[in-house]
Structure 1
């Protein structure tokens, strides 16, 4: 498949991420940038919630159930909002159309730059991510396709009845499964397009909404935001290659919109486009969407929200003091500090996050270097984004002109602090602050562009104002600059930025993405020969077959690529005693009756051996020592082979496969 062939599938992906939420946005009275910026949040909340409810009710997950749920949500939202439309809290003057058109015009170049980046880094729409987490995500989509269930409450087991279900955020998987069912496309294509659309559609729309709320109806600000939003490499581009953290990326892509809702609720917006009443509704929806997309989003937005909330609390305390109600203001301030501290203490000590907090990534640089990386937007020793970073620094000074930008500056500094803790220190005491991001510098670096984008926009606006001021006293330039206007000057500055950086540092963006798709020192999940072999295997074994194999040699990818379920769909996980026994002893089927007993109980009829070697130094390889190539051992019959890939039928146990072969 080439990229042109993928365009219709990409449009379907955009439709699933925008249209359900957009219908709700319009039903509750949102328009323009606010409607589009908040639409993905609502769409993800509807889709992921419906998947949970459907499983609870015993209803198969399908396109129709998602459409019915979306229509019902729109009807309820409209019925609730209609009688409230004239209430003060639900009113916000819609933006003029020219503002939305300016935002759209500014986003299109960013979309093009983003698409070029992806096309240059990823060879085709069905390219496979050769990363650790990708195996789980691919097989989770295969499980949804086979089971017709997509609930976040049960997805983690991948259908293993021996493992107790646990919560796993399935928002990304739910959307990707709908793309698969709607278009009939393959798992790799759906996985890639949902993620890419999140990066170049959802993320810029969310940034546009945050900028809209911070700068008001500022034509210049909205005209440059779309381009600026795709320039920072720590997000979304780094998460396209690292991990691979697809659910996290989808969740973080709407984080700026969620933060915009908080700014509305705390009344730090400029010419608010949402309305406080609608913001409360969207606040609840955003909590649901973030919880089902990835909880990291909740913690990221919570950190950045502390500053507008705290500022509003203390402004109110000062107003109460001036009104002679000092005690009440002091009590409210103390309560806020107590609640914030209590929330942090609970999160830092609760067993619910213990496993997450204890994840360890070794520090790789000094604190000074880490600070410098944030200042230059060069996290993880990557290319310094000199001009873009200079705009961010100028944006710090723009906070004098736009006071609510000071709260963004505070959030930017807080994120810098958290990144430094993970990249340069990462001790047990610092993990009480960074553990909610797995103490992972990549996840924390992804927060930086949330604040860097509006700061860079603020920097462009300040430079625009300086240009206007400098030409006021020059008669020859005054008329030309006045004709261009502030929006024209801002766009010209953005054009200079793009041209001077060769397209906003494309090599760095492509390098970060391709790190996940190209062959890696740690090995690959699947080779081209394996993909071809898996297509044949799908014709050689029954649809209900369960196939054993060592996931480290790539056999686990058969489920996602060949639609045949595998016994071990991921490298690690909870296994039943029978699974564990086969993992260690299946090659001894001819001499060990316990192997046959376990294989019969589980329904395992085949053994698949792949030619890949993923993480050959991983100690977990030993766990699967019994499901490697039996070579000349008895008890197995070679069904097919290609290169180092082999499919064996288990013949030692009198299983169903042997009887079918007879």
Structure 2
């Protein structure tokens, strides 16, 4: 299958991301860029919130559930519709849309080259969880963020996990009948190619107003920074983070709107407050990291506005004091609360010196990548344009906050620094993903300033941007593609599940009852049987939480013919088959050691094999009453 063949699936994904929210944004009176860029905030909040409500109400998840809720919301919004808020001239919107085309082309080409065929498998640490979460939703019709974290393990309580990405992936699957790998790749592609650039465009619109040149180049510059979205497309993989952070520029634009730091406002303060509620809900269900990122970005613009209000009267002083108490108190609580202990205690090691980390920020070479000299020079120029664009002072301040957090994570990462970086798992990749949110408008400001030095050139900002694209070979495509390719290995020896194993899984699915489970060592590739062949596995992730019974099976399965407890546990979990993927696989200090021994143990009947990959039926327990 090629990307042309999945074009209808791409269109369905676009429809799910925009259509539920557009009636709301239009009914609020927004038009053009503002309406289109804020619609996904509403869509994501509605879909992810509906998934939670449906499970609480005992209603199975299907395409009809969010469609019904969206229809009700659209009707309500239409009834409460308001007059359009100072819509932008049509010419401005058209120019911005045309400016998005080269961005979409550059991004699409990079995604296609980096991912390969649209059914390619991402094969890194977090991938099995994301794929199997989609399989869990498909099989159980439950998609709530409040329970999806346990993937249906009956011995574990429902665990919160931000499931917005999985909710949309499941809707794409249900709407089109496509496979899990294709749905996952298409959702990530649409987020990268469309959602992120449009979100950046809204931020540019609010910062630079009706500046045609700024809006014409915003889309292209949004895809230039490898720290986001390209790095999170491949690192981890952190697809929920990718989904959520793509919303951050639009959410930041709403913060700047309600605080009054915008030019030629296209949203309106009251509308921005309403949309900010949707943005918070959407970000929370996409990934809470986004909320913390938004707080960090907003500290200076919110604080500055409150400070100005404090100078005008007693009420402003009270607001300023309350803000300080909330910020400091909230930080003290969250920095010590057990609620965030798991994230805060994640022990990444510093990867470089603080000085090197500072240099990486300035050269857009985060996480020890190649320096992007020309693009970085444009950003530095933008940093020096605060007198020309006063509102950019808060963008620059937000950029400095993000840079500091990145330096703490990449260059120090000590227990004391984790009080600040723990909200992002102390991970330099997650923090580096924040930098483009502010780097894009800084780059726009830099281009606009340089354009003033070319008074005789027609459309100098567009010409300069085109020269930047040409001089960098398409805005450094090798860098951004390499950041994605780490999760899509090309050679068979580097794959968790080889092409032959995928064929084998499809073949043996008919040998396994639909309602049964299969046990296997997840590190040998068996973990993806559920996602690829719709046969549930007992261990759906590499280091998933397990009950005592599951742990016992992992260590003692080979003793099924002589150990009655093994058979009791197999019966309890409806496990009747064993899948062996590869001969050489990590057992994590014996956690799955009992599975490796079944090839030479009594009580296991070989059903089928393809090289090292084998499927066994467990016969040992037929002897036990």
Q: What is the TM-score with the length of structure 2 in the denominator?
A: 0.98
Q: Does 1:642 align with 2:610?
A: yes
Which of 325, 331, 352 is equivalent to 2:339? 352
Cα offsets for 1:232-274 (capped at 9, x unmatched): 0000000111100000000000100000000110011101111
Structure 1 runs not aligned, ≥5 long: 469-476
1:277 matched residue in structure 2: 270
Contact 2:261 2:391 in 1 (8 A): yes
Q: For residues 507 and 96 of structure 1, do their structure 2 counterparts lie closer, same or farther at Cα, with a shift above 3 Å needed?
A: same
Q: Does 1:578 align with 2:565?
A: no
Contact 1:525 1:612 in 2 (8 A): no
Greater CA deviation, 336-345 or 12-21? 336-345
Larger-Rg structure: 1
Question: How large is the Cα RMSD of the aligned pairs?
Answer: 1.7
Greater CA deviation, 546-555 or 628-637? 628-637
1:473 matched residue in structure 2: none
Which of 477, 480, 495 is equivalent to 1:524? 495
Q: Does 1:414 align with 2:409?
A: no
SS at match of 2:111: helix
SS at match of 1:654: helix
Contact 1:530 1:611 in 2 (8 A): no
Q: Does 1:17 align with 2:17?
A: yes
Contact 1:554 1:612 in 2 (8 A): no
Which of 251, 268, 272 is equivalent to 2:244? 251
1:300 matched residue in structure 2: 293
Contact 1:605 1:650 in 2 (8 A): yes
Q: Does 1:595 align with 2:566?
A: yes
Q: What is the TM-score with the length of structure 1 in the denominator?
A: 0.92
Q: How far has the Cα of 1:133 moved from its partner?
A: 0.4
Cα offsets for 1:552-603 (capped at 9, x unmatched): 1010100000000011111122222221111111111111111111111211
Contact 1:211 1:225 in 2 (8 A): yes
Cα offsets for 1:76-119 (capped at 9, x unmatched): 2233x33xx36xxxx73011111111111111101000011111
SS at match of 1:156: coil
Q: How far has the Cα of 1:524 moved from its partner?
A: 3.1
1:369 matched residue in structure 2: 356
Contact 1:358 1:438 in 2 (8 A): yes
1:47 matched residue in structure 2: 47
Q: Does 1:66 align with 2:78?
A: no
SS at match of 2:167: helix
Which of 440, 465, 486 is equivalent to 1:515? 486
SS at match of 1:630: helix
Contact 1:527 1:612 in 2 (8 A): no
Greater CA deviation, 392-401 or 234-243? 392-401
SS at match of 1:102: helix
Q: How far has the Cα of 1:331 moved from its partner?
A: 4.0
Contact 1:526 1:612 in 2 (8 A): no
Q: How far has the Cα of 1:308 moved from its partner?
A: 1.0
1:286 matched residue in structure 2: 279
Cα offsets for 1:521-571 (capped at 9, x unmatched): 995321111100000111111111111111010101000000000111111
1:471 matched residue in structure 2: none
Cα offsets for 1:313-346 (capped at 9, x unmatched): 112223x1xxxx4x55544433322221111111
Contact 1:398 1:459 in 2 (8 A): yes
Cα offsets for 1:186-214 (capped at 9, x unmatched): 00000011011111110000000000000
2:229 matched residue in structure 1: 236
**Distance of 1:626 and 1:69 partners within structure 2:** 48
**Distance of 1:449 and 1:612 partners within structure 2:** 43
**Distance of 2:316 and 2:129 partners within structure 1:** 51
**Distance of 1:328 and 1:38 partners within structure 2:** 32
Contact 2:132 2:530 in 1 (8 A): yes
Greater CA deviation, 136-145 or 381-390? 381-390
Q: How far has the Cα of 1:414 moved from its partner?
A: 0.7
SS at match of 2:263: coil
Q: Does 1:452 align with 2:439?
A: yes
Q: How far has the Cα of 1:135 moved from its partner?
A: 0.5
**Distance of 1:612 and 1:128 partners within structure 2:** 21
**Distance of 1:237 and 1:621 partners within structure 2:** 34
Within-5 A mapping of 1:475-494? 477=456, 481=457, 484=458, 488-494=459-465
Q: Does 1:627 align with 2:595?
A: yes
**Distance of 1:462 and 1:587 partners within structure 2:** 70
**Distance of 1:355 and 1:147 partners within structure 2:** 28
Q: How far has the Cα of 1:613 moved from its partner?
A: 5.2
Contact 1:636 1:648 in 2 (8 A): yes
Contact 1:287 1:298 in 2 (8 A): yes
**Distance of 2:531 and 2:172 partners within structure 1:** 15
Which of 370, 384, 389 is equivalent to 1:402? 389
Which of 263, 288, 307 is equivalent to 2:256? 263
